Structure 1
Amino acid sequence: MTEPTFRKDTINILAHGAKPDGATLNTKAINAALVACNKKGGGVVLVPSGLWLTGPIELQSNVNLHLQRGATLLFTPDKSQYALVEGFYEGKRAARNQSPISGKNLVNIAITGQGIVDGNGDVWRAVHKRQLTEDEWKKKVASGGVLKADGKTWYPSEQFKSASEENKSMLIGEGQKPGDFAGMKDFLRPNLVVLNGCKKVLLEGIIFQNSGAWCLHPLMCEDLTFRNITTKNPDYAHNGDGMDIESCKNFLIEGCTLDVGDDAICIKSGKDEEGRRRGIPTENGIIRNNTVYAGHGGFVIGSEMSGGARNLFVENCTFMGTDKGLRFKSVRGRGGVVEHIYARNIFMKDIVDEAIFFDMYYFVKFATDGERDMRQVVNEGTPIFRNMKFENIVCNGAKIGVFVRGLPEMPISNITMENMVLQTDKGIELIEASGIKIINADFKTKETRPVVLVDNSSQLLFDRLQYNANTDLLFEINGTRSQDIKVINTDLKKARLKAEYGQGAPEKDLKLFTAN
């Protein structure tokens, strides 16, 4: 990663008429300072302490926007200040309101300091009554907006309500322009910071909070550094991701703190055919020394990963209370290859669902298990997740330690998990998986029947598997495709029953337990 460097020349936004009174709209003053700094060859634009109300800010090449401690950029709730623009929504071209902070095709840019960037996100987003306390709900209703007919959902406006209930699309079709979506403008929530096609980018020290949708969204950027920043959104923030690194190359995320309403550190690369046409993977990334509190996942890949992801290294990260820890998700139709992912020294506490999670059925519901088992033709829309290693993983509290669910036509393959201690309700569930190795893993589970569930999975190795004494059932093995399963260097006497077989699992052919 090559970090940006800047001239020492500094322009104070006060010199362009900005006022820190929380009431004056400073959009023109701040943007004028950025442009002036760029024209002088670059340098630093200084935002001193104060409450600076502003509309959208457009970054400039060779300029470091520096917020002193005590400085808050508060983005106006006046939605007329945000132009309709062509952007992206979950990997596809879409009409959006202009982001509070944006930059396109820039080089050598930064946002640094110890200040706060606040997107005023509550004016953009809907919220369900169940997501708030009774007092919070009363205040929300009293603030304006409109309610759904059942009185359980609050919308910012009638326009937002209409677009939501009619499921209007924000995706830009053939021949359409952003202005064609004016009738649903209020519904087109902006991401807080969007950087598109930029090189040598640094975000450091800043608190980014209250985004209308995603918080930080670098897209097709190179040489990207996020260091010691905080992203913060309410837990009810719909699409309130912390940072979505999409189709970026050569990046570092270190020392960051995330407490958000959706996925925290998320890797993406476009969605479905549009993402495959773009064909730009997210690659060559280091994610280290980060802490995640609330979030749907601590470190996440997908589900929009149609351009692929590779060569990612995650280490020394702590997840405290996230829904899932390491989360990998996709679905048929995405395509893309996710491979060469390495994670070590991952520490988790009070995970709501799964500590380690792979699922190729994101947002898919089935009438029966038989419907899920239907094998489909492998094509460009088949997602592939393979060749990963996780080691030194500790989890204190989760529903499931390891959950892996691939596709019948494309199992999740060649994943090694080594040196783990997982205190969870359930142990391991492997469904449509191949080449999974669990080595030196201690599963301290509340449920003891079974510790390991295998469903139509093959070429599995369990080496030095540890589990509770007096376990009722160690393995439950189902499915005709379950084969070549080995358990070595493991005390089998602690289990009352070693294995049960069902749903056509070929017990006689498995040779499940081998000599130590």
Structure 2
Amino acid sequence: MTAPVSRRTVLLAGGAALAGGSLLGGGTAPAAAETAPDAQVAAILRRICPPRFPDRWYDVTDFGAVGDDATDCTAALRAAIETCHRRGGGHVVVPAGDYRTGAVHLLSRVDLHLAAGARLAFSQDPAAYLPVVATRYEGTECYNYSAFVYAYGQRDIAVTGQGVLDGRADATHWWDWTGGPPPNEGPDKTLLIQMAAAGVPVEERVFGAGHNLRPNLLQFNRCENVLLDGITVKDSPMWNIHPVLCRNVTIRGVTVDSPDGPNNDGIDPESCTDVLIENCTISTGDDCIAFKSGKDADGRRVNVPARYAVVRNCEMADGNGGVTAGSETSGGVMDIFVRDCRMSSPHLERAIRIKSNPDRGGTITNIDVRRVTVGQAADSAIEIVLNYANVTTGAYPPDVHGITISQLTVASAPRALNLLGLTDDPLRDIRLHQCRFDAITEDNVIENVEGLRLDQVWINGAPVDN
């Protein structure tokens, strides 16, 4: 079978147009271009240092927690965390058992350690996550229900161990706010976006009780030196793990098991600097890992990029995208490095995904992906689009350029490439190197791309570079 090719127009680096879908590229890049990203990865990893904690241990059962899946342990957990923090830090231990709780707020120098067999079973009552806290909801700052595990402005915090954080969201709790008959989140999402566009101060954007904006399972806001290690998280109301405006974040050995919920992204570092995500296993109802930086007017107001991140040795199953940038890109996404990941599922739509539109803006650049193995994908293996949510006009066109994907192999997918720039805002400098796509059944879609380079790329066994 011959390789499917696009029937649309591709713009090459020199500006000439080729009709009919010939995918021509520039040859192998100099060796320096290959080693420069490795040096950047090494520099990022040198800066990332997980927090360490004093050798003091506080068992939550000593503060009144009971792991009987019935007793409300919220007060006991808070007392243990506050005591640990007040005495200079250490480890708050949740032993084996099922502990019912509301919001858990971490404080500096505290490691919340869930032993094997421990389960935090979070309340399904929205009132358990009041009073409201400062948060970012889908890229827009406001006050809303607390994340189930939350920290604001703290240093040296962690959630570790082999236990489970169970959000207990389902079709009748939290997820039912996403659509259907009222109450649902639609009017509140619209109101929040309107408030941000009008410049309403953040402290006046108050939601929570009487509103329907879902909280995250874990959110760390403006924190430094954050560690998540070994835990399992499941069934969040929306995004599972959401560091916001944080620096020095390590997420390793974490399992995200949340494939059924709407907008159940796995790990979403938003406007964070120096992030390491490694050895994680993720299956979600939305993107597995998504780098974000704020949405529209409010994202431009805060104007902090997601920058300097390494994703390595992770496994992705269900999800709209394996590793994603966007769609909230207003502050920019740059210097993201993906290495040695595996992805496969009949419910994994795309492996590598970049998505934005002319309302979002922001610069997305220096995204470098290497050695990713994809078994099965349900849509395009690689998707880079600037018409997200069918928005094709706006005052803030994103600048997407400098994307490199090398040594990616795909065993089966309907389409290899879906690359959609805009007429007045093309994608630029996209390079694929030593990539192989097998069992492809549909044509590539490539439109408004300048400087597309395909070097040692095969589709269905046929070379598509020059």
**TM exceeding 0.5:** yes
| 1:277 CA displacement | 2.0
Query: Sequence identity, in percent?
Result: 31
Tell me if 1:353 matches 2:379.
Answer: yes
**1:454-465 aligned within 5 A:** none
Paired AA for residue 127 in structure 2: S
Q: Which residue of the partner structure matches residue 454 of structure 2? A: 438
| 1:388 CA displacement | 1.8
Q: Which residue of the partner structure matches residue 368 of structure 1? A: none
Q: Which residue of the partner structure matches residue 205 of structure 1? A: 230
CA contact (8 A) 1:99 1:191 kept: yes
**1:114-513 aligned within 5 A:** 114-122=162-170, 123-126=173-176, 153=180, 160-161=183-184, 164=186, 169-171=191-193, 174=200, 181=207, 184-185=210-211, 187-235=212-260, 237-321=261-345, 322-364=348-390, 381-423=396-438, 424-444=440-460, 466=463, 488=466
Specify whether residues 5 and 439 from structure 1 end up closer, same or farther in structure 2 by C-alpha distance, changes over 3 A only. Answer: same
Q: Which residue of the partner structure matches residue 27 of structure 2? A: none
Paired AA for residue 383 in structure 2: F
CA contact (8 A) 1:248 1:282 kept: yes
CA contact (8 A) 2:259 2:319 kept: no
- The TM-score with structure 2 as length reference comes to 0.83
**In structure 1, what is the Cα distance between the partners aligned to 2:381 and 2:201?**
45
**In structure 2, what is the Cα distance between the partners aligned to 1:254 and 1:440?**
28
Residues 63-102 of structure 1: CA deviation (Å, up to 9, x unaligned): 1110000000010112222113342211112342111100
| 1:318 CA displacement | 1.0
Q: Which residue of the partner structure matches residue 13 of structure 1? A: 60
**In structure 2, what is the Cα distance between the partners aligned to 1:114 and 1:268?**
28
| 1:178 CA displacement | 7.0
Q: Which residue of the partner structure matches residue 104 of structure 1? A: 152
**In structure 2, what is the Cα distance between the partners aligned to 1:179 and 1:389?**
40
More strand by share: 1
Q: For structure 2, which runs of at least 5 residues remain unmatched after alignment?
A: 1-47
Specify whether residues 258 and 13 from structure 1 end up closer, same or farther in structure 2 by C-alpha distance, changes over 3 A only. Answer: same
| Number of residue pairs aligned between Structure 1 and Structure 2 | 409
| 1:169 CA displacement | 3.0
Q: Which residue of the partner structure matches residue 82 of structure 1? A: 129
CA contact (8 A) 1:420 1:440 kept: yes
- The TM-score with structure 1 as length reference comes to 0.75
Specify whether residues 166 and 413 from structure 1 end up closer, same or farther in structure 2 by C-alpha distance, changes over 3 A only. Answer: closer
Specify whether residues 182 and 48 from structure 1 end up closer, same or farther in structure 2 by C-alpha distance, changes over 3 A only. Answer: closer
SS at 2:82 equivalent: helix
**In structure 1, what is the Cα distance between the partners aligned to 2:187 and 2:155?**
41
| 1:126 CA displacement | 1.7
CA contact (8 A) 1:263 1:298 kept: yes
CA contact (8 A) 2:329 2:362 kept: yes
SS at 2:62 equivalent: helix
CA contact (8 A) 1:427 1:443 kept: no
**In structure 2, what is the Cα distance between the partners aligned to 1:80 and 1:440?**
57
SS at 1:7 equivalent: coil
- Higher Rg of the two aligned structures: 1
CA contact (8 A) 1:51 1:72 kept: yes
Higher relative contact order (CA 8 A, sep 6+): 2
| 1:427 CA displacement | 4.6
| 1:175 CA displacement | 6.1
Q: For structure 1, which runs of at least 5 residues remain unmatched after alignment?
A: 129-147, 366-371, 446-464, 468-486, 489-516
**In structure 1, what is the Cα distance between the partners aligned to 2:302 and 2:262?**
27
Tell me if 1:94 matches 2:118.
Answer: no
| 1:164 CA displacement | 4.4
CA contact (8 A) 1:85 1:178 kept: no
Paired AA for residue 152 in structure 2: K
CA contact (8 A) 2:379 2:415 kept: yes
| 1:127 CA displacement | 8.4
SS at 1:426 equivalent: coil
